[in-house]
Amino acid sequence: MTRKPARCARALARALAVRGAVATAAMAAVAAPLGVPVAVSMAVSMAVPQAVFAADTTPIAPAEKLLFLTPHLNGVASQTELDYSLVVSAPPEKSTDRVRVLVASDDNAKSDAIVTDANGKAALPGNLPCNPIILYFLERDIAEMEQSTGGQRRYFQQRVRLALAAGPPITDATAQVEGKPVKARKIVIQPYLNDPNAERFPKYTSKRYTFILADGVPGGVSLLLTEVPGDNGDFTHPVKTESVSFETSVRKLSPPAHGAPSTPKPPPNAPRASR
């Protein structure tokens, strides 16, 4: 289902963007010390009246549109599960888990897809047409940045948002689906390179985020990746990487109309049970 641009823009503003006068305040908040709560963030923007965004004419960057305003789940039937591999590598340690996106309505028309991981259902911003695995990936990353640095999550939210709003290039790439190459698009950002507070967390100054999306991949998302480089920005020997990559899609049976378990009918020539 195609959503009206104005409605999508407002949804993006509420969940992940800060526009107009709010953006001006956000720029000032970026320079605030990490130990001081930042007044403007993606979470706070959800509570800002829609009138603020309705009056704003700032164009949404192509990277933001591709990540948050694109209906990636178009063509995905209801009760389809998209499986993703979550890999965290901090040599010599490495862990692997699985994240699932259950598409509850055809094409995710109701924006009701559910994301679950080892901890259960993930709480994520709603009313966006994008694949929620993107929101899951960013929310997870921001929570880890907060824990690792002792900084405020709102600060890291804002740095990522500003990096995407700055208009990073969207380049051609290649993704793999069942061993076959498909055309993809790639976005790369480094939110902390020019951060005035980068000296407070020098380990993450060059941290890199990579988003690879492909129409030929069910759900539209092929790979989401963060890399913390080694000394002198050495990405060939990263200190830590975290990735979410598409594995497979599984079509599930629709639930019975009244919640009762359904019993499959035996084929016509099936042997009958003895009395």
Averages of pLDDT over each 10 residues, the chain, 275 residues = 47 43 38 32 34 53 96 96 96 94 95 94 89 97 94 93 96 91 97 90 94 96 96 90 96 62 47 42
Residue 229: the pLDDT is 94
Task: Please tell me what DSSP assigns to residue 244.
Answer: E
A 10 A CB-CB count for 42 gives 25
- Cis before 91? omega within 30: no
Residue 255: the pLDDT is 59
Handedness of CA 172, 98, 105, 75 (dihedral sign): positive
Instruction: Answer whether 209's CB lies under 8 Å from 160's CB.
Output: yes
CA distances to 90, 100, 236, 238 from 67, rounded to whole Å, are 27, 18, 27, 25
Residue 44: the pLDDT is 32
Residue 176: the pLDDT is 87
Q: What is the pTM of this model?
A: 0.75
Instruction: Answer whether 38's CB lies under 8 Å from 32's CB.
Output: yes
Residue 57: the pLDDT is 56
Backbone angles phi, psi at 226, to 5 degrees: -120, 145
3-class SS of residue 183: strand
